[in-house]
Amino acid sequence: MKKALVVLVFLCTVCSTITYAQQSAQFSQYMFNTLFYNPAYAGVEGITTITAFHRTQWAGYQPTTGDLSGGINTQVISLNTPILKLRSGFGLHVVNDRIGPLTNQEAQASFAYHLGVGAAKLSLGIRVGAFSQTIDFDQYRWVDPNDPLRRAGRDSQMRPDFSAGVFYRARQFYAGVGFKHLVDTQFNFGGIDTLNNPLQNHMTVTGGFDYEPTYKLRLTPSFLVQSDLNTYSFDIGVMATYNDTMWGGLSYRQQESLIGMIGYSFFREKSLKLGYAFDYTIIAQEAKATSSHEIMVSYSLPVSSAGEKKIIRTPRFRQ
């Protein structure tokens, strides 16, 4: 545990010297969405999980120029599964991120190779996929009706994307570093240089550890730092889980909001999880709506016992 705390503090210190401008989709329940941030997480937990998110950012926000036409909302569906015979894992996720007239969509496949480090696991991962941007020019309000850049209709472009990462998982501690958009990707709509919108390289650092003050209660402090190596943003929070069934937590997003989270696991094997996050804006309320909402649904497939000894759990010994 002492080593875990040292690594956690070190990562926080390193990342505090970096600066970040957000370009990727934003999630409050980031601890349930690790594959999105780091391809090395693929298959690390040893179970097959399907997860879906829906996020509404600044619900009810209306600009002074009129309707935002769809607002700011994000959807993600992911699959995360181990490949036990190859000591590896596979992940797949699809993202739809709409910010008014701009829509980002991506489909990504991740592969990770797992190395045993004592009782822990070190994972090295890569990700390849496609990233698409669509602009609806009809939603823009032009100051100059004769602006030479003024266009009508929608325009879409798709580009290849590549990411890589490292993830370390011990029994009570995890930490990872992911690097997104490593390919030099440029979106140049209609060949107009002034509309060029490149994807920035991003580094994401995640970490957390489990502390069990009682048999049924587990506390999990965690953090998320995102950076383009010029500016940075961080989330830091703590989650309390009771009897591996229900959880609740609080989080803080730098210069943005306070976040409350609750969730519940259904069925005997806790295979179905439902989570909800509520963001309350505390910075620059005059320029944003005061609340954001996020729903998470996750289902873990039963673990096959073929060729393996079944683990029998008892009140005295826990795995």
Reported as a pLDDT band with limits 50, 70 and 90, residue 11 is very low
pLDDT digits (tens, 9 = 90+) for 260-294: 999 999 998 999 999 999 999 998 777 677 889 99
* Angle CA 180–184–32, to nearest 5: 15
pLDDT at 194: 58
Residue 281 lies in a domain: yes
- Which residue reads 């879409």 in tokens? 156
Does any domain span residue 222? Answer: yes
For residues 186 and 61, the answer to whether their CB atoms sit within 8 Å is no
Residue 277 lies in a domain: yes
What pairs with residue 181 in β-bridges?
A: none
Nearest to 125 by CA among 197, 21, 204: 204
Task: Look at residue 132 and tell me if it is in a domain.
Answer: yes
Given a contact cutoff of 8 angstroms between Cβ atoms, the answer to whether 261 and 241 are in contact is no
Q: How many structural domains does the chain have?
A: 1
Identify whether 148 is part of a domain.
Answer: no
Report if residue 72 sits inside a domain.
Answer: yes
- Residue 193: which pLDDT band, with cuts at 50, 70 and 90? low
Q: 3-7, 64-68, 290-294: lowest mean pLDDT where?
A: 3-7
- Residue 248 CA from chain centroid, whole number: 18
CATH of the domain at 273: 2.40.160.40
The chain-wide mean pLDDT, for the chain, equals 84
Residues in the chain: 319
Q: pLDDT, tens digit, for every residue of 106-118? A: 999 999 999 999 9
142 closest CA partner among 133, 134, 151: 151
pLDDT, tens digit (0-9, with 9 covering 90-100), for 126-162: 999 999 999 888 777 778 877 777 777 788 889 999 9
Give the chain's largest Cα–Cα span.
Answer: 76
The answer to whether position 309 is within a domain reads: no
Evaluate whether 139 touches 147 at the Cβ level (below 8 Å): no
In the DSSP assignment, the letter for residue 171 is S
Between the CA of residue 157 and those of 112, 133, 146, what are the distances in Å?
Answer: 29, 6, 25
Q: Which long-range contacts (CB under 8 A, 24 or more apart) does 92-97 make?
A: 93/35, 93/36, 95/25, 95/36, 97/25
Contact 46, 88 (CB under 8 A): no
What residues are paired with 127 via a beta bridge?
110, 163
pLDDT at 253 over 60: yes
Mean pLDDT of the region 50-72: 75
Q: Is the dihedral of CA 168, 260, 227, 16 positive or negative?
A: negative
Condensed to tens digits (0 to 9), the pLDDT of residues 216-241 reads 999 999 999 999 888 889 999 999 99
Range(s) of the domain holding residue 295: 2-140+153-300
Rounded CA-CA distance 168/178 in Å is 12
Q: Which residues of 136-160 are buried (b: 16+ CB within 10 A; e: fewer)?
A: bbebbeeeeeeeeeebeeeeebebe
Q: Which amino acid is at 263?
A: G
